[in-house]
Amino acid sequence: MPLVIICGLPASGKTRRSTELKEYLDLNTQRKVHIVSDHTIGVKRNEVYSDSKQEKDVRGTLKSAVQRFLSKDDVVILDSLNYIKGFRYELYCVTKASHTPHCLILCDTNKEVATDWNLTRAENEQYSKDIFDALVMRFEEPKSSSRWDSPLFVIQKDDTLPFEQISDALFHRKPPTPNQSTQAQPLSSTNFLYELDRITQEIVNVIMEGQKVSVPGDQVLIPGAKDKIALSRTLTLAELQRHRRQFIIYTKMHPVDDVSKLANMFVQYLINTLR
């Protein structure tokens, strides 16, 4: 039923914490616990994390595995870097659609200790120095103020996992209420995909044009949407198109019966992922 997202730098102790939590849940609950990890899907770390396309494919595979195991009774632990906030938001949307709680465990191990731990691994299990350093630089630390990173448990290297608090977050907390953008509904229009593509592209165009006559802090009004896009920084076309593709993929899996809602759904998606 619930999802536990393990997060941290490379070689920061994520697998150790996943194993500890699984052992506790196996002993103290009647629930089946699944661990989804780079290992379970056969990731060759230095090969995958040096290629953005392969890395994106791996995230898709991890997400699909999580969706496959989520049920009303089972617990899923995702043991991977999970260092991109946009990916953590996608996982949060998965839990909303599945009507289940989630929590996040951050293995807050500093770079120096993680470097030493990485070097103690078998050679074929180590991150290369270049890949290790690049992943550390790209790490987007979770914040408890973000609903997709909350509840957040920050664990230092010598800490004991707060098993009771984690269990309470997983089993005694009300799951997030699904909203229009995460509720699966039947298609009601044969031109849904056309409208999805057209509306999202028009919104990207409006944002790009709006930036030409705006200054940081301005908001762009999007036709058909209630919310506005705040221009706290310059958004590139490549970045917007990437988020547009992700939204289209997700919305194809969770279509809506009213295409007039697509504009606001996409704007809400951008507001959450561009923070």
186 pLDDT above the threshold of 70: no
179 pLDDT above the threshold of 90: no
- Which pLDDT value is given to residue 183? 46
114 pLDDT above the threshold of 90: yes
Q: Of 178-192, 199-213, 244-258, where does mean pLDDT reach its minimum?
A: 178-192
What's the pLDDT tens digit per position in 47-66? 999 998 899 889 989 998 89
pLDDT band, residue 184 (cuts 50/70/90): very low
Strand, coil or helix: 138: helix
Q: Of 95-99, 215-219, 245-249, 255-259, where does mean pLDDT reach its minimum?
A: 255-259
- Which pLDDT value is given to residue 108? 97
Find, among 187, 97, 105, the residue nearest to 144 by Cα: 105
Percent of the chain with pLDDT over 90: 55
CATH number at residue 154: 3.40.50.300
Whether residues 149 and 204 fall in one domain: no
The b/e string for 80-110 (b: 16+ C-beta within 10 A; e otherwise) is: bbbbbbbbbbbbbbbbbbbebbbbbbbbbbe
Whether residues 49 and 153 fall in one domain: yes
Whether residues 199 and 159 fall in one domain: no
187 within some domain:
no
Whether residues 142 and 233 fall in one domain: no
Whole-number Å distance between alpha carbons of 129 and 118: 9
Whether residues 164 and 59 fall in one domain: yes
> Token pair of 86, please?
């946009």
141 within some domain:
yes
181 pLDDT above the threshold of 60: no
Whether residues 227 and 118 fall in one domain: no
176 within some domain:
no
- Which pLDDT value is given to residue 218? 86
Residue 260: count other Cβ atoms within 10 Å of its Cβ. Answer: 10
Secondary element (H or E) of residue 161: none
**Which residue range(s) make up the domain with 113?**
3-171
Q: What is the mean pLDDT of the chain?
A: 89
pTM to 2 decimals?
0.67
- Degrees, nearest 5: CA angle 255-261-264: 115
- Which pLDDT value is given to residue 240? 92
pLDDT band, residue 122 (cuts 50/70/90): very high
pLDDT band, residue 178 (cuts 50/70/90): low
- Which pLDDT value is given to residue 129? 96
Find, among 113, 135, 111, 92, the residue nearest to 3 by Cα: 92
CB 237 within 8 A of CB 208: yes
120 pLDDT above the threshold of 90: yes
Whether residues 132 and 12 fall in one domain: yes
Q: Of 79-93, 124-138, 215-229, where does mean pLDDT reach its minimum?
A: 215-229
Q: Of 34-43, 180-189, 200-209, 213-222, where does mean pLDDT reach its minimum?
A: 180-189
Whether residues 249 and 147 fall in one domain: no
Measured in whole angstroms, how far is the alpha carbon of residue 159 from the centre of its chain? 25
- Which pLDDT value is given to residue 224? 83
